[in-house]
Amino acid sequence: MIRRTLPALALAAILAGGAAVALGPIVADAQSQQQTQDRQQPKRTAFDPGRHIEGRIAYLKTELKITDAQQPLFDAVANAMRDNAKAMHEAFQGLRGDRSQPQTALSRMEARAKVAQLRADSDAKMLAAFRPLYQAMSPDQQKAADEMFGHHGHGHHFFRR
């Protein structure tokens, strides 16, 4: 029995080894292709609330058709938007900062409360800057602002980031 099993095992080993040798270049090629794809895909970056703030400011200015006379009031809004974006960026950096500590229910709740307070402060700053601009706008500009910021919370990203 052993004499019959041994040649069968040897044959199986040879065939398996041959398959491994034959598949070696295919496996190496697949690994090479995966490495190439990894290099071609852009690196994921951390969330940055103010990443496109200048684009948002430019879009807002264009859509509201800000006049030269309104420019100083709009500049106050733009500066508030920049300041809020910077504060939010710094807050997110701080929250990401120390990952060596375990995330607990308490630490997550504290982080959410901190972000909520920061958003409330940002909204208050934006309201203080936006109110004079809105009051200086024409009825058509006010209508455009109402449409941009009035639909079920849409447009909130202009204020917060």
- Is the same domain home to 96 and 145? yes
Q: Does position 111 have pLDDT exceeding 50, yes or no?
A: yes
User: What is the length of the chain?
Assistant: 161
Q: Please compute, for residue 44, the number of CA atoms within 13 A of its CA located in the half-sphere on the CB side.
A: 3
- Is the same domain home to 15 and 62? no
pLDDT for 53 equals 93
Give the containing element (helix H, strand E) for 105.
helix 105-136
- Is the same domain home to 155 and 99? yes
Contacts of 23 (CB under 8 A, 6+ apart): none
pLDDT for 68 equals 97
- Is the same domain home to 78 and 156? yes
Cα–Cα dist 86/96, whole Å: 15
Is the model more confident about 159 or about 87? Answer: 87
- Is the same domain home to 15 and 74? no
Cα–Cα dist 152/160, whole Å: 16
- The domain of 154 spans 53-160
Least confident of 36-40, 136-140, 148-152: 36-40
Count the domains in the chain: 2
- Tokens for 94, please give them: 């701080």
- Is the same domain home to 134 and 107? yes
- Is the same domain home to 117 and 74? yes
- Is the same domain home to 81 and 141? yes
| CA dihedral for 106, 109, 111, 114, sign (positive or negative) | negative
- Is the same domain home to 22 and 82? no
Q: Does position 95 have pLDDT exceeding 90, yes or no?
A: no
Q: Does position 55 have pLDDT exceeding 60, yes or no?
A: yes
